[in-house]
Amino acid sequence: MKNKKIVYFSVLVFTALFISDAYCETAEEYFNRGVSLGKQGKHAAAIAEFEKSAELAPRNAQIYFNIGYTYERKRDADKAISYYSKAISINPKYIDAYKRRSAMYWYSSQYDKSWSDVNEVKALGGAVDPGFLEVLKRDSGRDK
């Protein structure tokens, strides 16, 4: 009988822990933890929290933007571009995502794509950093 009680108690504790992690956390809580971890430079942990947030709120462009930004901070341009693109696919008017993706395209020497995003930022009414434009002009050998 004592063993049954221990097993039953263990199952209850495990279930409570599982439910509290899987069902009681909100997308916003995961997101906020991701932001906090990112500020501490704990990029892998931040990405894990953002991904949990994305599971609960898959149509939230800001989550994918933050995953992209975290990959950018890790200097992983390909993954950053992928997540910025996901944010843009959800919100085609997400100016900051175009700006960051443009910078990642520049970083990976994809100048035509960088210019395309710069032009999209302008078309949406956004401003592009003049210093970035000068570097892009210099490196791409073109003006637009």
Quick: pLDDT tens for 93-135: 999 999 999 999 999 999 999 999 999 999 999 999 999 999 9
Identify the residue whose tokens are 């409570």.
Answer: 16
CB of 82 closer than 8 Å to CB of 63: no
**Could you tell me the residue ranges of all domains in the chain?**
1-58, 59-144
Identify the residue whose tokens are 């910078």.
Answer: 103
The neighbour count for residue 10, using CB atoms within 10 Å, is 10
% the chain with pLDDT above 70? 83
Q: Which residue has the higher pLDDT, 127 or 22?
A: 127
Residue 6: what pLDDT? 47
CATH code for the part of the protein at 59-144 = 1.25.40.10
Residue 122: what pLDDT? 98
| pTM (predicted TM-score) | 0.82
DSSP element (H, E) containing 12: helix 2-22
Residue 11: what pLDDT? 41
Residue 144: what pLDDT? 82
Band of residue 2 on the pLDDT scale cut at 50, 70, 90: low
